[in-house]
Amino acid sequence: MSPFTLTMLDTTGIQDYVFRSNRLQENIGASEIVYRVTTQWAIQALDDEHLRANVHITDRENGQWEYTNTSGIEADDSIDAEVVYAGGGNTFIVFRAEKAAIAFTKRLTRRVLAEAPGLGLVVRHRPFDWDAEPLWMAQTESLRKLATHKLARPLSAPLLGLAVTEPCDSTGLAAVRTDETSVRVEDKWRPLRVGDQAQEPPRSISRETLYKLGWRDLGNARLMYEVGDKVKDVFEFPADIDRLGRARGEESFVAVVHADGNGMGQHVKRVSDGLHSNAPRSANREYVKRLRAFSEAVNKASLAALKRVVDQVTASLSRNDDGSYEIQREWGEPIPIVEDYLPFRPLVFGGDDVTLLAAGQLGLSVAAAYLQAFEEETSKDPALPAMYASAGVAIVKSHYPFSRAYALSEELTHSAKKLVRDQAEGDQSALDWHFALTGLFGDLGSIRKREYGKSSLLMRPLRLRATEMQQDGRYWFDGLERVVRELQSGPAWRARRNKVKGLMEALRGGGRVAEAYRRTYDLPLLPALVPGDPGAQMKGWTTGDTCAYFDALELLDHYVPLRLLEVA
């Protein structure tokens, strides 16, 4: 048998591409382009090259595609290319001929250059003998060399303009037109402006912004198709930051939530467990089946988890007599729902890597709800092992640079994952968060040292819940979250808001200062949090010299719990 060609595709510069602009509509379109490049665009490139493959597009508007039933490229001579998996910014294809792989790559990269300027795509081709090599080993080698190539490749500098040019106000690149026009996307002319934008002055935009706006409506359509089927007749997902909602008299904050599966690399490696490299022909087919089943199961579980979060958010809305909606709060004014827009929006979704935007006060409740739902949805599928995820929540002022807010949410996710790794007591979900009331200069450690003075003032990051061996108060459910709700609405605390908030500053001075403050203002013992350490309720600090309550007090203005729903 002539050797096949193993082709790996990977997108680069995703963070900068998606979050370069602070306009949510452009972020939506950019995210949709990233999703489609390695899924629908790749499938379309196979079709355009007249290559017979095992995939086909089922719904172009909503970005849906599926595998077809074949016996596999090694057994079916009519197949020119087999997509092993596609998604998450990666595509893995086995081609029968190297010439076909190269033609496909040229076709796809030309479209990326034309319709996704600013997004990088790297490709690696590798000869592969199906009957003699284990596919999982060839894949690992290709991924490693692809990662090396991404780091070593020369970076191109964009041409900012020659002679007299008008800059794009989103990217700084040379503008090519205004946003009063339309662009052809998926064989239709898509308007760049929607709704009340017609009343705004025209904006000069670059080609990059042009196509991001062109893909915005398809991004909205796919989101509603995937997770909004229960709410589509009543609510919409916002495409404008100002429609996330804020309480009267309060500054507008937005929460950027990034969630990522724990140990996904190890989970993928375990897909090949038990397969024998000395019998590659049959083992390779089994590996393809397992890898594809694993990828599809994770995607299904993640979308199901997001649907549950949508259900919780909508169930938490109260309908007023005038037909409007709001979110009631025990601490502070209600958060009004702007028109019929939900106060949160998934931006990157599908697979284990998820990014959400929410009204600032909902960031932590949405993050915790998603982590819990992801655990439970993955546990339902026999094709998946026990799976957990970690999340970072960056709460920033609504017009703070998105790119920095997202970078901080990623750092917070890594911080939560590190907590799980360091405890060496099995995998768990975890979360970390930060309020960016001032600028975000430096890494997370530098920011916290500057704003909090010492790390012992904080309990976070936190595990999602306690275990029998972990009763130290460093957990969210039935831990810090319960304390926050008690301080917000408990009968001993709700009438003393100013004194409760003053306790946060007293805690900075240490346990003695905090206890003196509590006694001076006749405040009761703090809600129990750290089992076996009653002294913490008196002075707010544990015997291990960690402040147990600063996190909870800081959350009083920035946390609204979601309504709990029965698990289906």
Going from the first residue of the chain to its last (568 residues), give the mean pLDDT of each consecutive group of 10, the final group possibly shorter: 87 88 93 95 96 94 89 91 88 95 97 93 93 91 83 68 79 90 92 81 93 95 92 89 77 91 90 83 90 92 95 92 86 84 92 92 95 95 90 91 90 95 85 83 82 83 84 89 93 88 92 94 93 90 91 92 64
Q: 460 and 320: one domain? A: yes
Q: 426 and 540: one domain? A: no
Provide the token pair at 151: 């780091």
Q: What is residue 512's predicted lDDT score, i.e. its pLDDT?
A: 93
Which residues make Cβ contacts (< 8 Å) with residue 47, sequence separation at least 6? 53
Q: How far apart are CA 523 and CA 525, in angstroms?
A: 7
Q: How far apart are CA 35 and CA 310, in angstroms?
A: 21
Q: 391 and 258: one domain? A: yes
Q: How far apart are CA 331 and CA 488, in angstroms?
A: 5
Q: What is residue 568's predicted lDDT score, i.e. its pLDDT?
A: 44
Q: 492 and 467: one domain? A: no
Domain tally, the chain: 3
Q: How far apart are CA 529 and CA 527, in angstroms?
A: 6
Q: How far apart are CA 217 and CA 241, in angstroms?
A: 16
Given the structure tokens 């904050």, which residue do they identify?
253
Taking CA atoms, 524 is separated from 26, 343, 488, 490, 528, in Å, by 50, 35, 14, 11, 11
Q: Which of 453, 480, 507 is the last residue of a domain?
A: 480
Q: How far apart are CA 415 and CA 397, in angstroms?
A: 22
Q: Is residue 199 domain-resident?
A: no
Question: Domain limits at 525?
Answer: 484-554
Q: What is residue 242's predicted lDDT score, i.e. its pLDDT?
A: 86
Q: 68 and 147: one domain? A: yes
Q: Is residue 208 domain-resident?
A: no
Q: Is residue 11 domain-resident?
A: yes
Q: Is residue 469 domain-resident?
A: yes
- Domain harbouring 385, CATH code: 3.30.70.270
Q: Is residue 159 domain-resident?
A: no
Provide the token pair at 355: 């990014």
Provide the token pair at 338: 């702007």
* Alpha carbon distance, N-terminus to C-terminus of the chain: 50
Q: 64 and 111: one domain? A: yes
SS3 442: coil
Q: 278 and 388: one domain? A: yes
- Cis check for the bond before 527: say yes or no (omega within 30 of 0): no
Provide the token pair at 393: 């929540």
CB-based burial label for 244 (10 Å; 0-12, 13-18, 19+): buried
Q: 402 and 444: one domain? A: yes
Which residues make Cβ contacts (< 8 Å) with residue 411, sequence separation at least 6? 392, 443, 444
Given the structure tokens 């997004």, which residue do they identify?
119
Which residues make Cβ contacts (< 8 Å) with residue 336, sequence separation at least 6? 245, 247, 248, 324, 325, 326
Q: 450 and 488: one domain? A: no
Q: 434 and 518: one domain? A: no
Specify whether the CB–CB gap between 195 and 278 falls below 8 A: no
Residue 551 gets the label, from left (phi > 0), alpha (psi -120 to 50) or beta, of: alpha
Q: Is residue 137 domain-resident?
A: yes
Q: Which of 465, 480, 495 is the last residue of a domain?
A: 480
Q: Is residue 401 domain-resident?
A: yes
Provide the token pair at 173: 């690149």
Q: 280 and 393: one domain? A: yes
- Domain harbouring 130, CATH code: 3.30.70
Q: Which of 133, 152, 171 is the last residue of a domain?
A: 152
Q: What is residue 567's predicted lDDT score, i.e. its pLDDT?
A: 45
Q: 259 and 347: one domain? A: yes
Q: Is residue 211 domain-resident?
A: no
Q: What is residue 195's predicted lDDT score, i.e. its pLDDT?
A: 75
Q: What is residue 483's predicted lDDT score, i.e. its pLDDT?
A: 95
